[in-house]
Structures are given as C-alpha cells and as structure tokens.
Amino acid sequence: MKIVSVQRAAELLRSGGLVAFPTETVYGLGANALDPAAVGRIFAAKGRPPTNPLIVHIPDAAAARTLVRSWPAAAQRLADAFWPGPLTLVLPKQPQVPDIVTAGLDAVGVRVPNHPLAQELLRATGLPIAAPSANRSTELSPTRAEHVARSLGDAIDGIVDGGPTSVGLESAVIDLTGAEPRLLRPGSLDLERLREVCGPLRWEGHTVAREGAAQLAPGMMERHYAPRAQLVLVDGGDAAAVQDMEKESQAQRARGRKVGCIGFGGLQLEADWTHEFDPQDPETVGRELYARLHELDARGADLIYMERPPAGNRWLAIRDRLQRASVKG
C-alpha cells in the first residue's frame, strides 16, 4: 500500500493526483473537485460510468454554500443537525463545479465528513474534494485502507490510513432541488429523525436508475456494493426457503465451491465460514457488514448466503445495499 501523510496527500491533490482517505462512512477516492482532468482520473481508476455523479466533500456549511446557487431553509436545518456527518445534500450547482462531477446535471451533492483526517485533509488542501468510494465501480465499498489497496492498487497515488471507518455505510442523500425534499439513498441516519428535522421528506423505496441515464445521486444503479463472490439473500422466516438453501449449500460444497454464511439467527447453513449478527443492532451491522464481505472475498468464497435483514426503517440502508449487491453481474 502507498500510505501517505495528510500533508503529502494534500500536495498530491493540489497537483491533480488521486488520494484515498477515510471518512466516517467509507474510504473516499479524492480529487480536486474544480479540476475536470483530475476528476476524470477518478472515473478512469474506478471504471465508473460518466452517468454516475460524485459527492463533493467540504469542511463546513459555509464552504458548501460557495458551490451551490440556493440554500433553502431545509438545507440549513439539516446541516445544523447532521453536519459534520453522514448526510449528502443535493442542490443547484454554481458554474465553477465541472459538469463531469455532476453527470452533466445542474445539481451537485455536497457533504461535510465527520472524520478528523478527512477534515484535516480538506483544510490542508483548501479545495473541495470530489470523492466517491475508493473501489472499482459496482464493487464493495472499502472500510479499511487494505480494502482500497486490494481494489485499486497502483491506479491511485496514495492512501491516508485512518483505520476502520466508524459508520461503514455510505451517506444518506437528500435531493433539495425540487418543491419537496426527497430521500434518494438511505444511510445510517434514521428516516424519522431526518423527517423531524427536514419536515416532509419523500421516500419512494428501493429505486433503480434507468440504464444510460444521468443520475442525480450516486448509489442508484441496479447492481452496486457487490462482493466478488455471488451474494444470495434468504428469508430466514421462510422455512422452505431456508431448507432449499441448506440443500443448495451442501451441493455447492460437494462440487468444491467455497461457501460463506451470514445470518441474524434464522439461517444455519453448512458453510466454510459463518457469522451471525445481532438482529437488534443495525449500527453494528452497518459498521461491520462490508468488512465481513471483504473478508469472505479475500478468503476465496465463491458463494455467500445471507439472511435478509429485519424489517423497519432502521434497516433501510442495509436492505438497500444488500438488494443491489445481490444482483448478478
């Protein structure tokens, strides 16, 4: 791994380089958001389609307001309540924000990360930093520096190592460009708490962006956040489905395939590796989920059977990520 200091990372970013750095959610792959050529290197390194926009990271709300044309009352309320933190606000962009950042659309997602190294890096560069997750497009997001190195290797100029991330799931994204705020991507912040602060907030459920169309927010592709192993979701409350998966797991292992199993208490399969999460603790699951999936990939798992998470708003983001991750590539 090319581990670099924050000061060296700032130098690289100011000169058009690419640097992975930790946030509280996942590691981001950063470039100067105002330099189209540098931002283009993000898309090349990730193999990311140009229709998938980038989130711009800034140190505070004052910096965010320099990048957007409007700042409604809802934006101020949300910023006051949740920034720095795992929330992205989509607002009409200023002309200096390059179109490559926003997939050609007239709106930009801005976020103030809640991580000391991310804040130090933003202030050291004096620049807004465009940063999607630091991994190949559609693959698992990284929550540790070694995940970044394994996915991107020599395609980037350095990694700031901040250890494991504390949240582990990408930020919630709220669109404030229309008459009514919309939740485009759920995150670790509870939906009802967001509504308490924001006021009316529309959530249309799990949606998939139309193929080839520019997206208003990242994370809306049909397949995303996926391990290299095939991920199969199982309803732990469906006895017949569980029994079928037990037979399938045995058959796969008999053919020499390596199998992982992750559950919430309702899935007890014959597998090479197993892990059980607490069904009452979505915060821990969110923090550890990607790390567990990365670990199974590193061990050479061919198949991962995972029990569907519990119902309820507290599990929205985890259900969303797993639904996309289970789509076959």
Give pLDDT tens digits for 155-167.
999 999 999 999 9
pLDDT cut 70: percent of the chain above it: 100
Mean pLDDT score, 75-98: 98
| pLDDT tens readout for residues 103-144 | 999 999 999 999 999 999 999 999 999 999 999 999 999 999
| Predicted pLDDT at 83 | 98
Rounded Cα distance between 145 and 164, Å, is 8
Q: Is residue 301 part of a domain?
A: yes
Same domain, 251 and 148: no
Token look-up 């940063």 returns: 131
Joined tokens for residue 117: 């190294």
Same domain, 186 and 268: no
User: Do residue 60 and residue 194 come from a single domain?
Assistant: yes
- The DSSP line for 233-273 is EE-TT-HHHHHHHHHHHHHHHHTT--EEEEESSS-----SE
Tell me how crowded residue 174 is: count the other CB atoms within 10 A of its CB.
28
User: Is residue 224, in this structure, part of any structural domain at all?
Assistant: no
Please indicate, yes or no, if residue 225 is contained in any of the structural domains: no
pLDDT beyond 80 at 1: no
When pLDDT is cut at 50, 70 and 90, the band that residue 270 belongs to is: confident
Q: Considering the domain boundaries, does residue 219 fall inside one?
A: no
Structure tokens at 213: 């169309």
Model confidence pTM above 0.95:
yes
126 shares a domain with 52: yes
- Say what the pLDDT of residue 290 is: 98
| 217 has pLDDT over 80 | yes
- CATH classification of the domain holding 259: 3.40.50.11030
* Pair 17, 105 in one domain: yes
Which pLDDT band holds residue 317 (cuts at 50, 70, 90)? Answer: very high
pLDDT score of 237 more than 90:
no
CATH code, domain with 191: 3.90.870.10
Alpha-carbon distance of 168 to 307, in angstroms, equals 19
How much is the pLDDT for 239? Answer: 87
Q: Are residues 234 and 166 in the same domain?
A: no
Which structural domain range is residue 262 located in? Answer: 230-325
Region 90-103: mean pLDDT is 98
pLDDT given for residue 266 in this prediction: 84
